[in-house]
Amino acid sequence: MEKIFGMQVSVVYGHYLNKILRKGQSQEDMDAAICWLTGFGVDELHQKLDSGITFTEFFEAANLHPNAPLIKGVICGVRIEEIQDPLMQKIRYMDKIVDEVGKGRALSKVLRS
């Protein structure tokens, strides 16, 4: 897990972006979902990505949305709600909402509105 925690968010963001674009979805929706989760504005999100911030630093600076625990399901074969490490759970929250955007799920549902 330490390898993931020290990884630059921008590297994973690039993979997220390729995935959702390949599936015909928009970067704007993905950014909206990530901003909802983290409390960052779009400009702030991209500044953090450009700075080379790690997942640890990224989520330390984030103000996680109070509805984030409503993000449930399986990602990488593991139930999100059963993940014990708080940082890994936050990373998996982000994985899950990006996956939902990629699948074309309505943004209002992705944002747990």
* pLDDT for the residue 67: 96
Per residue in 34-62, pLDDT (tens digit) is 999 999 999 999 999 999 999 999 999 99
Domain count, the chain: 1
* pLDDT for the residue 82: 95
* pLDDT for the residue 1: 73
Calculate mean pLDDT across residues 54-75: 96
CATH number at residue 34: 1.10.8.290
For residue 71, the enclosing domain spans 2-110
CB-based contact 62:40 (threshold 8 Å): yes
The answer on pLDDT for 22 being more than 80 is: yes
How far is 22 from 18, CA to CA, in rounded Å? 6
* pLDDT for the residue 103: 96
Report the b/e string of 6-45 with b at 16+ CB within 10 A: eebbbebbeebeeebeeeebeeebbbbbbbbbbebeeeeb
